[in-house]
Amino acid sequence: MSIKLGSSELAKYPFLQEASDYIQETKFDFAEFDRPEMIHIINRAVEKLENELKGKIYSNLDEYEIEIMTFLVSLLLIKSIGLEEVSKKCSLFEAMRVERFLSTDLSVERSSQKKKLLVQKIFQDLFDINIDVDSTSSICKLSVPDYLLRASKMYEQEWKLINRSVKDGYVYLDTDEAVRLIRNELSNLIYTRVKNMKVYEVPILIKSKADELRKKYSGRYVYRNQFKILEYPPCIKHAMEIINKGENLPHSARFMLATYMLAIGKTEEEVIEIFKNSPDYNEKITRYQVEHLAGKKGSHIKYSVPSCDRLRSEDLCFAVKECENLINPIQFGRRKLT
Amino acid sequence: MNQIEYTNENIKFLKDIFRKYYFENKYFPYLYSIEKREFGYRKFDSLVVRHLSFKNIGELVVELVRNVPLDVYYSNAYYGFPSNPINEKQWEGADLIFDIDIKDLNIPCFHEHTYYICNLCGFVNSEQKLCVNCNKGKTYDISIPCKRCFTAIKKEAAKLLEFLRSDLGIEEKFIEVFFSGNAGFHFHVNDPGMRNLDSNSRSSVTDYIIGNGFMCESIGVRKYRNGFMIKLPKSGIMNGWRKKIASSFGINQKSELKLKHLVEASGGYDGFRNEINRITKKFGVHIDSQVTNDIHRVFRLPGSINGKSGLTKTKCDDLESFNPNNDACMLDDSEVYINLKTKLKINLKNNNFKLDNVLEKVPSYVAVYLVCKGLATISKNQ
C-alpha cells in the first residue's frame, strides 16, 4: 500500500510539488483573484504577511485549498511589494511556520510510514538530506557532512559538532533540532521562489494591497547605523600588547588585528603603523598585505574580521564577561552614533 | 622559514642531491587527480612560486628535475582551473587534512634538543635571546626530534585516528597518514563525502577533535536563575564527546541525580564547566586548526623532500613501527665533509652519529639533514 500526503499536510506544506500539482489540476487562472469571493483569501494573505513583518509566526491553519491559495497570494504580494527586506523577512517567518508544523508532525505522527514520507518529501526531495527518523524515539539521524554544511551557518555554540551526539559518522538530533537545521534552506527556498516568479499581470486586487503594504513598510528597514568603538575587545588588546612588547604575532593574529582595525575605520597607513613594532617588520610586505586585506590588491576582496568562533578555535580568544553572546569581535564595546 | 646558509657549496650540494632524488623517484603514488591540483614550490632563495598546474606526473617530474625546488607543495583543493588566480580557480572541493606537530605537544625533552640560530651570523646559541656571537641578530629555533618526541606524537596521531574512524565514521581506505618529513604527521582524508565542506564546517570538525567549546548544556547541565538545573538532552549523552565526558564522571542517561550531586560538588555551574574543560583537554588532540580549516592551502607533496630536514614526506602504514629517521631518510650515502656549528648526536638510517669536531666526514643524508637544519655547512675542501 502506498502512502500519500493528505490534505492536512498540503495545508501545512504548501510549497511542496503536490500543492503546485493541485493548482495545475484545477486549471486555476490568476485573473480569478479579481473575483469578489477571493477577497477572503487575499485578506488572509495580507494578515499573514503583516504578522510576519511584525516578527510573529502566523499559526492559523485552514482547509488545504485555502492554505494553498493563501500561500500563492502571499508570494504574489511579496513579489509585487518588491522590497528585498520584506521578501527576506516573510520567507524566514514562513520557514518558521513550517518548522513549527513539521516538528510536531515528526514527533506526534503515529504512522512511521507517514513520518518517512514527510522526511522524504521535505528533507530529501527538497534539500537532498538523507535523514532517518526512529519510529519510537523520533530521534533523527543524518550524516556528519550533511549536518555540518547546515550547522555551520548557525552562530550559536550549541550547533558546533562537539555539542552534538555523534557516532560512526552520524549526528543524532531530536525532531525540533532536525527541523531547525533546515530553517535557512526553507527560507531560501521560499525567497528563491518569489525571486524567480514571472508574473506578467498582477491581479488588480493583489496589486492594490501590495501598493498599500509597500507604502507602509518601505523605509522601515533602513537600519544600518554608524557605530563608534569605545573599547577594543580583549582579543585585539592582547594582540596589541604582544606587538607593543616587540614580540612576533602568529599570522592568524596579524590577520585578525589588521581586518579589525580596517573594519573600525582605520586607514591603511594607521594599520601599517601598528605593525612597525614587530621584530620581523618589513614595510613592503606589510603594506601589500594590509592593502590586500582592504581589498585594494590581489583578489580585490575586502576581508572580514574572523568570527569569535574562529578565534576561539585558533586560540586567539581571551573572552571576558562582556564578550558573552557576541559572534564577532567587531560587536564589542561599540555604541550607536546618534 | 629557510634555515639553510646560502653558500655556493651548500646550494650546489643540495640541488645535486635533490635533483638525483626526483629523477630516481618519479612516481608520487599518493598524488590523485593531479590535473585538478594547484602546485607550488619554494626555491632555495626562499622565493615561492604558486599557481602551477600539471596534466600528469611526467610534467611534474620534469619541472622538479629542471628547477630543483627546496620544498614542493600541492593544493588540498580540486580546481576547475588550478593555474588561474585564486578567485578564478573554480573550487570543486578539498581533501580534509590534519596536521600534528611535535612542537605543539609541550614535550619536556623538546628544549634539550632545540638549537637557537642567529638570523644574521648563523651562530648556534644555547638559548633564545640576542645572539651572543654578533650581539645584533635575533635567534630562531630548530629542533632535532628524539625518540621520546616521536613516541609522544605517535600517541597523539593514534588519538586522531580514533576520532576520524569512530566518531566521524571515515572509512580506513580514505585515510592516509604521512610523516611530514620533519617534526609532524599529516592525515589526508580524501573521503568524497567530506570534500565539499566549507571552511566553517571544517572549523567545527577541528573544534570537535581539539575538544574546543563543549557546553555543560550538552550533557544536561543548564544555567538556571542563580544556579543550575539538570535536563538531559533527548538525543542522549552516550555518543561522541558527551559519552567521553559522561564516562569520565561515571554517569549515564539515567544518572540525573548523580549528575546534580556532581555539579554541586564542583561548586555549581562554573565549577562544573572547569571540570569539563579539564576533561576535554585530556581527550582532545593537538592539531593545527588553521591547517584543516583552510580550503585553499597548499601542502607538502607526499614523496617530496622536506627542505627543513632532507627527509621525505612518507606514507606511514603502521604508526607503531614507523621510524621517521630511518623510513623517511631516502638520500644518498656517499661521503662528504661538513663544517659543524655545534657538537651533536643524531640517529639516521639506524646509524648513530656522534659529531664532536668542526670538520666531519659524513654520509650525504647526514650532511643534507644538518645543512637543511642550519647546523652545518658543506666544507669548501672536499
- Residue with the larger pLDDT of the pair B5 and B324: B324
B319-361 per-position pLDDT tens digit: 999 999 999 999 989 999 999 999 999 999 999 999 999 999 9
Encoded amino acid at A93, one letter: F
What's the whole-number mean pLDDT along residues A140-162? 93
Would you list the domain boundaries of chain B?
8-104+145-207+288-378, 216-283
pLDDT at A3 over 70: no
Q: What are the φ/ψ torsions at residue B359 (nearest 5 degrees)?
A: -105, 125
- Give A132's strand partners: A141
pLDDT at A75 over 60: yes
Helices B240-249 & B256-265, crossing angle to 10 degrees? 70
What's the whole-number mean pLDDT along residues A8-22? 85
Per-residue pLDDT band for A300 (boundaries 50, 70, 90) equals confident
Which pLDDT does position A225 carry in this prediction?
A: 47
Cβ contacts below 8 Å, chain A against chain B, sum to 122
What's the whole-number mean pLDDT along residues A228-251? 85
Which pLDDT does position A223 carry in this prediction?
A: 45
3-state SS class at B353: strand
Question: pLDDT above 90 covers what percent of chain A?
Answer: 43
What's the whole-number mean pLDDT along residues A61-66? 84
Chain A residue nearest residue B234, CA to CA: A174
pLDDT at B24 over 60: yes
Three-point CA angle B238, B242, B247, nearest 5°: 70
- Give the CA dihedral B168, B173, B174, B175, nearest 10 degrees: 80
Question: In the predicted model, what is the mean pLDDT of chain A?
Answer: 87
Cell 491581479 belongs to residue: A203
pLDDT at A1 over 70: no
- Range scoring the smallest mean pLDDT among A181-190, A241-250, B136-145, B191-200: A241-250
Which pLDDT does position A221 carry in this prediction?
A: 57
Cell 638525483 belongs to residue: B20
Kindly list the residues of chain B whose beta carbon comes within 8 Å of any beta carbon in chain A.
85-87, 138, 166-170, 193-194, 196-198, 200-201, 203-208, 210-215, 217-218, 233-242, 289-290, 293
For residues B52 and B83, the answer to whether their CB atoms sit within 8 Å is yes
Pairing label, strands B114-118, B139-143: antiparallel
Strand intervals (E) in chain B = 39-42, 48-52, 71-75, 77-79, 91-94, 96-101, 114-118, 124-125, 139-143, 175-179, 184-189, 221-224, 227-230, 298-300, 314-315, 335-340, 344-348, 351-355, 359-363, 376-378
- Residue with the larger pLDDT of the pair B234 and A23: B234
Kindly list the residues of chain A whose beta carbon comes within 8 Å of any beta carbon in chain B.
137, 139, 143-145, 148-149, 151-153, 157-158, 160-170, 172-174, 177, 251-252, 279, 298-299, 301, 309-310, 312-314
pLDDT at A338 over 60: no
pLDDT at A279 over 90: no
Which pLDDT does position A281 carry in this prediction?
A: 80
The DSSP 8-state label assigned to residue B103 in this structure reads: G
Which pLDDT does position A335 carry in this prediction?
A: 67
C-alpha grid cell, residue B65: 628535475
pLDDT at B245 over 90: yes
For residues B213 and A149, the answer to whether their CB atoms sit within 8 Å is no
Which pLDDT does position A336 carry in this prediction?
A: 59
pLDDT at B84 over 60: yes
Would you list the domain boundaries of chain A?
7-217, 227-336
Question: pLDDT above 90 covers what percent of chain B?
Answer: 83
Which pLDDT does position B263 carry in this prediction?
A: 97
A247-261 per-position pLDDT tens digit: 778 888 999 999 999
Question: pLDDT above 70 covers what percent of chain A?
Answer: 94
C-alpha grid cell, residue B173: 581506505
Q: Which residues of B are catalytic, by number? A: 99, 101, 288
Per-residue pLDDT band for A4 (boundaries 50, 70, 90) equals low
CATH of domain B8-104+145-207+288-378: 3.90.920.10
For chain B, the first-to-last Cα distance in angstroms comes to: 28
Mutate to test the interface with B, among A107, A157, A163, A247 (most CBs of B within 10 A): A163
- Cβ neighbours of B141 in A, within 8 Å: none
What's the whole-number mean pLDDT along residues A11-32? 84
Which pLDDT does position B219 carry in this prediction?
A: 96
Q: How far is A117 from chain B, CA to nearest CA, in Å?
A: 22
- Cβ neighbours of B200 in A, within 8 Å: 152-153, 309
- Cβ neighbours of A153 in B, within 8 Å: 200
B187-224 per-position pLDDT tens digit: 999 999 999 999 999 999 999 999 999 999 999 999 98
Q: Whats the size of chain A, residue-wise?
A: 338
Per-residue pLDDT band for A234 (boundaries 50, 70, 90) equals very high
- Residue with the larger pLDDT of the pair A230 and B307: B307
- Cβ neighbours of A173 in B, within 8 Å: 235
What's the whole-number mean pLDDT along residues A32-53? 90
The DSSP 8-state label assigned to residue B310 in this structure reads: S
Which pLDDT does position B1 carry in this prediction?
A: 56
B258-295 per-position pLDDT tens digit: 999 999 999 999 999 999 999 999 999 999 999 999 99
pLDDT at A66 over 70: yes
Nearest Cβ partner for B239 among A137, A153, A166: A166
Which pLDDT does position A220 carry in this prediction?
A: 67
